[in-house]
């Protein structure tokens, strides 16, 4: 999820900012998957192995999210179709507070709704107001595979719903009008064609 005007008081830090001790390890910034890449419509598979590779993936996702900058990222957004989400809503000037959610699942939603202006790192520089439940209960596993439950509200609830949508092949533009969504998709298809046309032609022989 990309910071917007509504949540600019919680921008993500640069990748070289101090973070929790577990994350003081080498991290790699990975390329982001951008609309209209069909990967974004792929449902992610359950994480079954809780090992060093998973921890490295979480570290790389955090590095990528901070560099973007963003406040949330799902595995599929770096072309890894696994059910893993990272989030950091720490405010500017605060110590980063990275959170990692493995196999997150919304098990309950409140009746009250919130409207947040959302953005997405996979749909850069486009923002739209989205209505979602104000509170959600999310069941997930931590990096050790231990079951956890979190009661989230406000921005954290919005961010979790946005990222869990990604794990199911759903984008935030699916929550806006079809007219606006179609306009966004056409724009990004055009940009993708232009990027492809700009690639240098390989010489054979």
Span 135-189, pLDDT tens digits = 999 999 999 999 999 999 999 999 999 999 999 999 999 999 999 999 999 999 9
Residue 12 lies in a domain: no
Residue 73 lies in a domain: yes
Q: Which residues are catalytic?
A: 163
Domain count, the chain: 1
Residue 205 lies in a domain: no
Span 107-145, pLDDT tens digits = 999 999 999 999 999 999 999 999 999 999 999 999 999
Residue 116 lies in a domain: yes
Span 11-21, pLDDT tens digits = 433 322 333 33
pTM above 0.85, yes or no: yes
Phi, psi at residue 16, to the nearest 5°? -95, 10
β-strands 99-109, 84-87 pairing: antiparallel
């Amino acid at each position: 999820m990309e910071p917007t005007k509504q949540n600019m008081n919680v921008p993500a830090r640069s990748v070289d900012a101090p973070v929790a001790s577990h994350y003081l390890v080498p991290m790699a910034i990975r390329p982001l998957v951008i609309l209209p890449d069909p990967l974004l419509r792929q449902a992610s598979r359950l994480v079954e192995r809780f090992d060093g590779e998973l921890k490295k993936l979480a570290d790389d996702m955090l590095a990528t999210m901070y560099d973007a900058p963003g406040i949330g990222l799902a595995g599929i957004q770096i072309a890894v179709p696994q059910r893993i989400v990272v989030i950091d809503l720490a405010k500017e000037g605060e110590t980063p507070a990275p959170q990692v959610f493995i196999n997150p699942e919304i098990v309950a939603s409140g009746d009250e709704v919130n409207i947040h202006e959302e953005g997405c790192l996979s749909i850069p520089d486009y923002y739209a107001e989205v209505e979602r439940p104000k509170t959600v209960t999310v069941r997930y596993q931590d990096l050790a595979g231990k079951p956890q439950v979190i009661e989230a509200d406000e921005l954290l609830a919005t961010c979790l719903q946005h990222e869990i949508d990604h794990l199911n092949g759903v984008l935030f533009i699916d929550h806006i009008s079809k007219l606006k969504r179609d306009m966004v998709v056409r724009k990004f298809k055009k940009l993708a064609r232009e990027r492809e046309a700009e690639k240098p032609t390989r010489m054979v022989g």
